[in-house]
Structure 1
């Protein structure tokens, strides 16, 4: 056995050298939207995570992660507002302590309701209903339906493009995002208000597609509200005069003047114009039909 040890170490070192040699010498991803190719991407379950945080009794925070996310992202660089995302998130918390892990998945006592999710919770699912790109082209305000614990509610995500490139034959795009939900909206009420109702979500996502796959033919999004006619007022304050000018230029049958955190109905109408403004300044940032 002692004679075999040096041979084993040499073999391990050789395999390690081969692995290092196969690694890229530079980061394959860069925050360059020109690298993004249109098509349908698959979520990379190993590198897509949903972080969550809640206040615990005013002393400290509970926080952890959901991983193994699956789903799709459909992109058309020429029409970013037509992007669609549909992801499924297993409810299997990754947390720092075994005690907290057990607490989140604990069954109900004596036939009662579970503390939080219960021992065998169904996965959560988020399906986008609208995407509003930011003025700089690097961010987006994504609204969609989140189904969690048997309840479906609208949720808004402030997303940011973080990189694109190719890695091991797969085109990859990455994003980060933040959202705020109330767990009581999803029937999870244990400990409120001692454990905060509001839950901060911190998202990081990677989506992959095999390089060289043909791009699907993309249909331009419906523009019955003529949202493009509102571009001239981006960066200007939505005064009554500006609002009247936008109405006259677009001819939209109805206009909603919204802040990023506005709660609105999810019914899509191609002839309705949604104008997003900065909260506190009313400066117009984007416009879309919906």
Structure 2
């Protein structure tokens, strides 16, 4: 009973500590200035391809393909020279076990499978051109999709959704939409009862490869007014002092950091970081970032 109590207590304390160390701010935001050029690798845990088809005119079938791998080469100087090459395993993730089995089961009596079959090769999409949008927040991507052994051109309307750093690694995110006809790829099961047109909704996260130089944003003209903290250096960061510092600097965000604080590594010129001693809360320094 005592052992169980201590084990349970230790687990509870570990959970509390883990939660306390989690970032308190989103590390990413839709700011193109945060994006640097280079080679990025798809994050398979956070890159998904959603698909939707009409089912008999009653409702939609929808599901996901995950575990996406591949690379994104971003050319910051000339975005039109960027390149995308991703591989999508045909392993449906759906809300219905019956639908999942229906999609990948073998054909009956030696015939063709209804849809993909049990040993379908992974799909692959390779871009051939990238046309950046006028606002710099999106792109029209044309490329070749290989699916079910057939290669056809497919266009993706992509949108930039965020960039920043997570655990010290630059990460960029995008969403996208595309429309294909499954009959173009020889997937003819249940036509026309199940729609030929398939709507694809994409969400993707890419992490900068190890060895690639990480972005170091220009700190700019002291956007957080860190120099205005000088009158409080050497004083305790009491609630009144913290309020006064906030008013004096006008910083968009202030982080009060102990030496062992775990924080996100993304740089924000408008954010004020104030270093304080643990225990006494004496203010030692202040900087933007």
| TM-score normalised by structure 1 residue count | 0.72
Paired residues of 1:69 and 1:87 also in contact (CA < 8 A) = yes
Who is 2:188 aligned against?
189
Partners in 2 of 1:168 and 1:11 — Cα distance? 26
Structure 2: stretches of 5+ with no match in the other structure:
215-289
State the partner residue of 1:25: 24
Partner of 2:12: 13
Q: In the alignment, what sits opposite 1:279?
A: none
**Equivalent residue, structure 1, for 2:139:** 140
Residue 147 of structure 1 aligns to a residue whose secondary structure is strand
Q: Could you tell me how far apart the structure 2 residues matched to 1:208 and 1:178 are?
A: 21
Q: Contact between 2:39 and 2:209, CA under 8 Å: does it hold in 1?
A: no
Between the aligned partners of 1:167 and 1:78, the Cα distance in structure 2 is 24
Task: Provide the rounded CA distance (Å) in 1 between the counterparts of 2:51 and 2:152.
Answer: 17
Cα distance between partner residues in 2 of 1:25 and 1:214: 26
Secondary structure of the residue that 2:101 maps to in structure 1?
helix
The structure having more radius of gyration, on CA atoms, is 2
Tell me what 1:246 maps to: none
CA contact (8 A) 1:169 1:210 kept: no
Give yes or no for contact 1:151–1:187 (8 Å, CA) kept in 2.
Answer: yes
Which residue does the alignment assign to 1:176? 175
Contact 1:49 1:203 in 2 (8 A): yes
Could you tell which deviates more after superposition, 150-159 or 11-20?
11-20
State the SS of the aligned residue for 2:131: strand
* Structure 1 counterpart of 2:108: 109
Deviation at 1:5, TM superposition (A): 2.4
CA distance in 1, matches of 2:115, 2:209: 39
Q: Give the distance between the partners of 1:212 and 1:164, measured in 2 at CA.
A: 19
Partner SS state of residue 100, structure 1: helix
Q: How does 1:216-255 map to 2 (within 5 A)?
A: none
Displacement after TM superposition at 1:212 (Å): 6.6
Please tell me whether the aligned partners of residues 171 and 211 of structure 1 are also in contact (alpha carbons under 8 angstroms): no
Q: Partner of 1:62 in structure 2?
A: 61
Give SS of 1:12's match. Answer: helix
Q: Any idea what the Cα deviations from partners look like across 1:44-66, whole Å, max 9, x if unmatched? A: 00000000000000111110000
1:74 to 1:82, Cα distance in 2 relative to 1, 3 A? same
Which residue does 2:92 correspond to in 1?
Answer: 93
Q: Write the deviation string for residues 121-149 of structure 1: whole angstroms up to 9, x where unpaired.
A: 00000000000000000010000000000
Residue in 1 that maps onto 2:281: none
- CA shift, 1:13, in A, is 1.3
Any residues of structure 2 matched to 1:123-134 within 5 Å, and which?
Answer: 123-134=122-133
Supply the RMSD in Å over aligned alpha carbons. Answer: 1.2
Paired with 1:73 and 1:23, the residues of 2 have a C-alpha distance of 28
